[in-house]
Amino acid sequence: MRILIVEDEPAIAQFIRQGLTEANYTVDVVGDGRDALDYALATEYDAIALDILLPRLDGLQILQVLRARGNKTPVLLLTARDTVEDRVRGLDHGADDYLVKPFAFAELLARLRALLRRPPLQADAVLRVADLELDPARHEARRGGQRLDLSPREYQLLEFLMRHPDQVLTRTQIIEHLWDLDSYVESNVVDVYIGYLRRKIDRAGNRPLIHTVRGVGYRMSEDADA
Ligand code: CA
């Protein structure tokens, strides 16, 4: 899962970046409102944590432009202002949730997880495809009840595939969700990691769940022909 952090106070930005990276998220950080809008429009993030008071363009203006352009990325507003009026304004501008500074990192993480859950009405946060299960809260994946030993990158790739079941994901989409803008990524890196994942998930005797869509990308599905 790839998260954009928009925060102009370096200490807070660094604190969030470090915590989310440790929790296996891919993170981009920007501290300027105009840059934030450019990043949010150029890249398909899974969620945005957005400070309100920012240089050049404030968080509410950014939110307004994003929503006006049809961008539905979940947005968690971060702010030092804590009045009912501020909260209402934020939600009216299209924010999905609101967190008042100073906050505990665990709360930020819990709220981001809630925003990332799809579909929103799914009560059970555990993702399932056939007998493959992934529990985002515990960072655990199992196939047929057997726990899988995954590297952080393999886990991220599996989570991304499982959050988009029966959809074809292109190599570009996968790279954008798993690697930050500073990484140098070889074009075959997705195929390499899909290979690692297959060796752990689709082992002999298991029905294959990761399907190659020739010339396009990959699809996770119970059904080979979906
Ligand atoms: Ca600020």
How confident is the model over 171-199, as pLDDT tens digits? 988 988 888 877 777 778 999 999 999 99
Q: Which residues of 186-196 are buried (b: 16+ CB within 10 A; e: fewer)?
A: eeebbeebbee
Note the pLDDT of residue 118: 58
Query: What tokens were used for 47?
Result: 């969620």
Tell me what the mean pLDDT of segment 63-77 comes to. Answer: 89
Note the pLDDT of residue 44: 87
Tell me what the mean pLDDT of segment 27-45 comes to. Answer: 95
Tell me what the mean pLDDT of segment 20-26 comes to. Answer: 94
Distance (Å) from CA 110 to ligand 1 centroid: 22
Helix (H) or strand (E) holding 190: helix 189-201
Note the pLDDT of residue 94: 85
pLDDT band (50, 70, 90) for residue 225: confident
pLDDT in tens, 89-146: 888 888 999 999 889 999 999 999 999 885 543 334 788 999 999 988 788 999 999 9
Q: Long-range contacts of range 179-183, CB-CB < 8 Å, 24 or more positions apart?
A: 179/26, 180/2, 180/26, 180/27, 180/28, 181/28, 181/43
Note the pLDDT of residue 88: 81
Distance (Å) from CA 103 to ligand 1 centroid: 14
Tell me what the mean pLDDT of segment 196-211 comes to. Answer: 91
Tell me what the mean pLDDT of segment 60-73 comes to. Answer: 88
Distance (Å) from CA 204 to ligand 1 centroid: 52
Distance (Å) from CA 59 to ligand 1 centroid: 9
By percentage, how much of the chain surpasses pLDDT 70? 96
Distance (Å) from CA 48 to ligand 1 centroid: 15
Strand partners, 213: 217
Distance (Å) from CA 10 to ligand 1 centroid: 10
pLDDT band (50, 70, 90) for residue 226: low
Note the pLDDT of residue 119: 53
Specify the range with the lowest mean pLDDT, choosing from 37-51, 61-75, 77-91, 207-221: 77-91
Q: What is the pTM of this model?
A: 0.61
Distance (Å) from CA 54 to ligand 1 centroid: 5
Query: What tokens were used for 63?
Result: 């939110």
Concatenate the DSSP letters of all residues of 5-35 into one string. EE-S-HHHHHHHHHHHHHTT-EEEEE-SHHH
φ/ψ of 216, rounded to 5, equals -120, -65
197 CA to centre of own chain: 19
| Selected residue with higher pLDDT from 127 and 32 | 32
| d(C-alpha 57, C-alpha 59), whole Å | 7
What is the average pLDDT score of the chain?
Answer: 89
| Selected residue with higher pLDDT from 112 and 205 | 112
Strand partners, 218: 169, 212
Distance (Å) from CA 51 to ligand 1 centroid: 6
Note the pLDDT of residue 121: 37
Note the pLDDT of residue 104: 93
Note the pLDDT of residue 72: 85
